[in-house]
Structure 1
């Protein structure tokens, strides 16, 4: 079963899709995002993940600007334990060229637990290749 969710506002567009043939969620971010956008999308992922035990996320932030680092504490202590408990094992993040995003992404990467592998990428294709081999 495929599912699609979108968040559109004046500054950003975010889509979250369950891709059943790859047993993953694909999250595409566009525009200028903030911590509120990140938290809202993370909560929607938890809702869509219920009962699925889908082990993979491709988190594509290649087309964003903005500072979302304030969400990292919440992601570490609230979202990540729930995501891992619901089956998340592999998290691939595609980075933007925006240096602000790089700092937030590196900070988030170090917060992941051994129960969920995380890797940062410059290109979506490389992220997908890694996810295809991640178990």
Structure 2
């Protein structure tokens, strides 16, 4: 995977893998509702700019703070991703239990695009690489 950095902060990074037509997103640390939604909106902006069709969403280093936005993420954010042409999202779960519970809750609201959760990045990468769009 050859990544071109698009945005890098201590808590959040977005990179583009042009060969695979996907974004790699890394969430680190603790979030509140405003920071979580801001990160999601930044992803949407980079999906629009790159026309990426898949996302490897790495939340393995994310901590708690998502409970207030789980429904919005599952219903609104993922719907917006689908409407911008994203076909699949591989979501690496947080190692932090409260953050992992928030991811599980958000998944209950997702209807599109195709989303699956994983315990590690390697498995998520392989799954996403096998999805044909």
1:46 maps to 44
* 2:18 equivalent in structure 1: 20
> What 5-or-longer segments of structure 1 have no aligned partner?
none
* In 2: Cα distance, 1:53 partner to 1:86 partner: 8
Distance 1:95 1:28 in 2: 11
> Once the 2 structures are TM-superposed, how far is the Cα of residue 14 of structure 1 from its aligned partner?
0.5
For structure 2, the residue ranges without an aligned partner over 5 or more in a row are none
* 2:6 paired with 1:4: yes
Q: Which residue of 2 aligns with 1:128?
A: 125
* Deviations, residues 70-114 of structure 1 (Å, cap 9, x unaligned): 11232234322221110111111111221101211111112111x
TM-score under structure 1 length normalisation: 0.85
Distance in 1 (alpha carbons) for counterparts of 2:54 and 2:30: 25
- Paired residues in the alignment total 130
Deviation at 1:51, TM superposition (A): 5.3
